[in-house]
Amino acid sequence: MSWLFSKQVVGAVLLLVLIGLGVYVYKRSQLASPPVVTEPTIEYQIIGQSVEGRNIMAYHFGTGPTELVFIGGIHGGYEWNSVLLAYTFVDYFKAHPESVPKNITVTVIPNLNPDGMYKVVGQEGLFEANQATTSKTVLATSRFNAHQVDLNRNFDCKWQARSTWQARPVSAGTAAFSEPEAMALRDFVLANRPQAVVFWHSQANAVYASECQNGILPVTLDIMTVYATASGYPAIQSFDAYPITGDAEGWLASINIPAITVELKNHETIEWSQNLAGVKALIDYFQ
Ligand SMILES: [Zn+2]
């Protein structure tokens, strides 16, 4: 009887110890576990630096083999709304990861010309550029990088040292890809070979195809039509308002990468619903 009693006592003690241990481990785990992260993390890389040493960032969404690249701000503060549009897409894809299908990676390079942007905004990260309070001279020069080069004349497609912007001459650099910002995009593109590239500019209110020496790529015509139809911007095959040399989209065409240029309506609005529809249609096209 006594051995049975002591066995029960031992059993009860053991049970109590086990319960105590369980409670202790549970409490410890509650204390030790990190707070639950509900916000999705954002993957980014620094693809290069500007003349004045500002980082040029690329944000990635999804991990699929088909990469679509969207670029804002090649014309700096003069077209700051293209940068704001691009950052709005960064926020959108961060909040809606499900909008990027499994086979696709969306890459957004919001600000290819951070020095030009800085001339207008004054402080990185702020979007207070105001056409009304910024002098016309500052605005016009904020189109260029810190070497006063028009980056969209610095690429290797019919490059010439002197190029044009509307009626005025602009510097295209000392050679194709003489500028670190153009180099950064070139190196990123050559390393990743995206399936399509979209440049946001302002303010011609249209979607343009691209070409260099060998005509427009068939996929370029397709995606121009897809983006234009979904967004409502007119589609224009060739930019013929004035001759352009050394443009980034032309260089992409020359290495068989389809590229289009989307020009917003003015220098102030991002036309969000139009561009969201355009980007979604483009993603559907490649899905
Ligand atoms: Zn532009």
Residues 148 and 110 in one domain: yes
Residues 27 and 95 in one domain: no
- Maximum mean pLDDT: which of 21-25, 32-36, 103-107: 103-107
CA of 132 to the centre of ligand 1 (A): 19
CB 159 within 8 Å of CB 151:
no
Structural domain including 15 reads 1-33
Give 243 or 84, the one with higher predicted confidence: 84
In a domain, residue 129? The reply is yes
CA of 60 to the centre of ligand 1 (A): 23
* Whole-number pLDDT of residue 200: 98
In a domain, residue 2? The reply is yes
Give the mean pLDDT of the chain.
89
Q: In this prediction, what percent of the chain has a pLDDT beyond 90? A: 73
Cβ neighbours, 10 Å, residue 189: 20
CA of 10 to the centre of ligand 1 (A): 83
Residues 137 and 205 in one domain: yes
CATH number, domain containing residue 250: 3.40.630.10
Give the lowest-confidence range in 106-115, 158-167, 240-249, 277-286.
240-249
pLDDT (mean) for 1-15: 69
- Helix residue ranges, H only, the chain: 2-32, 80-95, 114-121, 136-141, 180-192, 218-231, 248-254, 272-286
Q: Are strands 43-49 and 196-202 parallel, antiparallel or unpaired?
A: unpaired
pLDDT-based confidence at residue 125 (cuts at 50, 70, 90): very low
In a domain, residue 38? The reply is no
Residues 17 and 105 in one domain: no
Whether the per-residue pLDDT at 32 is higher than 80: the answer is: no
Question: Which of 149, 122, 147 shows the shortest CA–CA distance to 135?
Answer: 122
**What would the pLDDT profile of 46-94 be if each residue is shown by its tens digit?**
999 999 999 999 999 999 999 999 999 999 999 999 999 999 999 999 9
* Whole-number pLDDT of residue 287: 97
CA of 43 to the centre of ligand 1 (A): 27
Whole-prediction pTM: 0.83
In a domain, residue 233? The reply is yes
Residues 25 and 50 in one domain: no
Residues 210 and 241 in one domain: yes
pLDDT-based confidence at residue 23 (cuts at 50, 70, 90): confident
Cα four-point dihedral sign 18, 22, 23, 27: positive
Residues 126 and 3 in one domain: no
* Whole-number pLDDT of residue 29: 62
Residues 112 and 216 in one domain: yes
Residues 20 and 63 in one domain: no
Question: Tokens 């000392």 map to which residue?
Answer: 174
In a domain, residue 130? The reply is yes
Residues 6+ apart with CB under 8 A from 50: 56, 113, 114, 115, 145, 146, 180, 181
Residues 98 and 4 in one domain: no
Residues 110 and 190 in one domain: yes
Residues 9 and 151 in one domain: no
pLDDT-based confidence at residue 124 (cuts at 50, 70, 90): very low
How many structural domains compose the chain? 2
**What would the pLDDT profile of 213-232 be if each residue is shown by its tens digit?**
989 999 999 999 999 999 99
- What is the distance between the alpha carbons of residues 224 and 221, in angstroms, rounded to a whole number? 5
CA of 75 to the centre of ligand 1 (A): 5
CA of 76 to the centre of ligand 1 (A): 8
CA of 143 to the centre of ligand 1 (A): 8
Whether the per-residue pLDDT at 21 is higher than 90: the answer is: no
